[in-house]
Each structure stands twice: as C-alpha cells, then as structure tokens.
Structure 1
Amino acid sequence: MTVLAGQAPFRARVAYSALDGFSLMATSYGPPIEIVCVPPIPWVTISFHSGGESVFTHGDGRSTRVGGSRAAILTYEHGVRMSRPAGVRALMVAVPKARVERYLERVLQRPLDEPLRFESSVDLDGDGRGIAGAVATARRVLARYAPDVPPPIVAAELEHSILSSLLFGQQHNYTDAMLRPSPLPSSRVVERVLELVHSAWETPLTVADLADVAGVSERSLYTAFQQQLGASPMAYVRRHRLERTHDELLDAAPNGRTTVTGVALRNGFTHAGRFAAAYRRRFGESPSETLRR
C-alpha cells in the first residue's frame, strides 16, 4: 500500500525487467511517499536509493537508512514502512525467497533449521561492494538484450552472481555455518566435475550445479579444487570456456557474421571489459585480433 505524505500531485516513473531467477524495478516518485509492506512476502529484496536518504522502519522497532553508500536487504519476517522523500530514485532487486534458501541449503548440504534472516543494512563501501557489482552487471546485461532476454547460460551466471554475493557478502543467521571448515572430498569428486564441464560446455552451470554432481557441499568442492587444481570451481569453468571462445574465434568463417560479443556471450561472458582483459592475459592478443586471423 502506498500513502502520499503531502498534497503534491502524484507522479511516478517505473521501469521493470525480469528473468526466471530475479527481477529489477527502478522507480522515482514526485512527492514524498510511504510504502507499507505487510508479510507474508515471498521475496528477498535489495534496495538502492540515490538523490536522498530514505528510512525503512521495521515492525520490531528497528530502522534502516538507505541512500548514498547504504543499501538495504529485507526478508520481511516483520512488516516494513518505507518513507521516501521527494525526488529519491530507487532500484529494487527481488529474488524469490525459496530460491535463495534452496541455494543456501546446497551450500550447507542440509535443510535449514530456521528461516533465513539478513542483517538489513548494507555497506556499499565495504562488504556490500560485491552485491552492488553483481546488480550493476545484471542491469547492464539486461539492457544489452532488451527487449529480449539473455540466453540461459548468461541468465544462470547473473543469478548465481547475485545469490553468491548475497550469501557470502552480507551477514545473516547462517554465515558462521557457511564458513565452518568441512572435510576434503576425494580426487574422484573433482574428476566427475571436470567430466561435466568438458562435456556440457554450452550448458549453464553454477557452483551449486557442480556441487550437486559431485555430491558434496559447495565449500567442500571449492576446497578440493583449490588444493588439486589451484583454482575455484567457477574459475576453472571460466578458464575452460575462455579456451572454447578462443577456438570458436579461430574457426570462424571469414564472412563477417561472427562477432566477438556474440561468441563471448554464448560462452557465458557478460562483462566485455573483464572478458577482453582475461582473454589478453591468457592468449596474448585481443579477441578481435584472433577473429581476424
């Protein structure tokens, strides 16, 4: 429910885009407003505000200030009243709560004992920088494909980036359990994951998918990859797909129809600058130079 906090004419601008795993909504209102959210609400939301500071008042009496270098994460175990002054621009990312908790269960490799609860205030100059970066990348990629949607491999990478930055970058009631050391799996576990990566390179893969195949928790798989291969599971996936991208650019027909951007996106690289830099480090030339050869 939205309540006007004044007599100014109501004006609003709203832009919305969504994938299967998350949605983004940018809003701005002319007058000051209050938005009251009453549970149950089946979402985890991340709110970024600019052009002023808003106050989120929680049903248990706490308050969270949002604006500038502070964002907010809400799981709506209590009602929330959002007070926004005139001219504030907001971006809200919404992820189904069931999806976040399912991802967390895969990390822990066990069912949750209680509902997931985040520390609501996010420091964008500190640990929250990873969350802000994941959201900024998602916005950029969605804009690149609009009005269409990204291919599944790209959408899966975007969702994984947002989920992992949420759960590893922000304090919550399962943080200690997530970071607790776990036994190291056998070398056969890593071999099974490598077989999948090499045989299904066009399939969207997240670290949760790899852990499911291996039959271990994500942090156990991470430890095994670091000890046996000197890289994280997803770093290995990206390295393999970088090599596939290189081969595809080399094999491209000289008809001008193949583009570096198209090949990179098809292989799951959503950030052009980071892709180009990683490609040059690996192969000693730019992707476009490879394509011209």
Structure 2
Amino acid sequence: MKLTRHRGVLEEFWKNFRKNKLAVAGGLIVLLFICLALFAPILSTANPVEQFKSPSGERHPLPPISRSDDGHLFLLGSDRYGRDIFSRALFGTRSMLKLAVGAVGISFIIGVALGAVAGYNRSSWIDELIMRFVDILLSFPALVLAIALVGALGLGETVIFGLRFSNMFKIMLVIAITYSPRFARVMRSVVLQEMSEDYVAAAKVIGASGTRIVVKEVFINTIPPIMVQASLMMAETVLISASLSFLGLGLQPPQASLGVMLNEARDYLFQGSWWYAVVPGVFISLAILGFNFLGDGLRDSVDPRQARRVGR
C-alpha cells in the first residue's frame, strides 16, 4: 500500500507537469543553458581570457560580427580588453550554473536535514532551537546576508582550520547558508503534514525508528515540494551570484563571469557599445526566467487545486 501511494503521488505530479506549457518551456530553457555550459569548450570560438588586437584605426569594444586584427570573428562583439564576448558568456554560463547547482545542493542538504529534525520533533526544544535560528537568518535580506558573510570570510582563497577553500567554493557556501533556511521551512511543514498520515502511524505501531520513518516513509512524499523550492532557488541563486560578482564580491577577474562582464560593461552602456552589457544581461535574464517558469510549473503540478484557484 505504501508503494502504491508513493507511485500515485509521483505519477499525478508528472501528469500535471506535462500539461503545463510554461513549465515545459522553462524546462527547455534550463536544458539549453545546461547544454551551453557542458559544451562551452566546444562551442566557444576563443579562449575566454585571450586578448585580441583591434584592427588599425579601431578600438575595443568592437561590435558583433566584427573581426580582430588577425581575423578572429567576434560573433557577439569584444569587450574593452579585446576578449571574445560570446566565449566569455558561454564560460560565464558554466560558472553560473556550477555555482547555482553547488549552492542549492549544499543548502538542500543543510536545510532538509534541519527541517526534518525540527518537523519530527515538533514542539520540542529541538524544534524551537532550529526554527528560531532559521527565523534569525530569514530576517536578513538574502543579498545583505551574503555580502556580510563574504565580508567576514574575505575575497579569494580562504584557509579555515588548515583547509584551503577556493573562492568559488566559498561563494557556494555563502549562498548555501543564505538560502538553507528556506529549505528548512518547507521541509518542516511537509514533514508535519506527512506525520499525521495513517502510513506513518502504522510504521510507529510496528516499532519503526524515527530515522526510518523520516527517511523511508516520509521523505519520498516531500520530493515534489522540495523540487519546487530547489528550482525557484536556482533562479534566486543565479541572481545573487551575479549580483555578488557585479559588486566585486563574487568571482574575480579574469575568470569568466556574467556578473563581472556586467560590471566591466557599465561604463560603456551609454557610449554606443550596447552589446557589451546586453549579452550577459540577456543570459542572466533568460536563466532566471527559465528556472522561474520551471519552478512555477512544478509548484502548480504539486498542488493543481491551488493553481486553479489562483488562475480564477
């Protein structure tokens, strides 16, 4: 009976998802960005940090479909240092998704663990301790908290207890700490709901331990709402990682980063070099749009009745 219930939940979820056109469109956009990130070395037309000399009488940044002094074609133009914007956007997408997946993965592990423990120990001092800590973190705007954490850890590589952490991993950790409370809240609410179900009561009757109940009985039914939260958080992670890099607190030059590209392009935005800022801006916007469409579609698939009420 338990397997039938789990299978029914997932089958209903998948059936509703396929009917949602925006969700499918969001999934395709996300798939496109994943392909761009995976095949960036193949699709790029140049090394993202290679600098090309401008033709005689011209200066960088050069417009799209122009050539360098040695004949290299800039599909989407060049930046002020003579680097290929198309190639930098591809590798910037790779860095963006690597950061987002890593940060969401770490926040998922932390948040789900805390939420599961709090939900199973409802109304106990453990629940109160965990949720008050979560409330404190949630009281800060995400970007402000991330900036504060980066300020505490510093830029570049960081050594903690003799362990050396790269700048990218440190940014992942900062974003994960910032967003893990959201996973904790969602997980706790779902666990509280599932703990009142008959199959949990039956597991308790036969002497199943708390860990077994949460891991083997409850967790599978928390997958759909957790997937929704993860997808929506991917969109926010893309935005906050780009914001940190734009402010000079994230990935550092000359590493390809869409946020760094926007920072470098700001002085040229009103000087006619529109492509310099538009290309990374479009990449970031499309990625956020894709993850939001996907997340909204997943949410509507999890609770179609709520979706119908909102649509009225």
Higher relative CO (Cα under 8 Å, sequence separation at least 6) belongs to: 2
More strand by share: 1
Task: Name which one, 1 or 2, has greater alpha-carbon Rg.
Answer: 2
More helix by share: 2
TM-score, normalisation: structure 2? 0.28
TM-score, normalisation: structure 1? 0.29
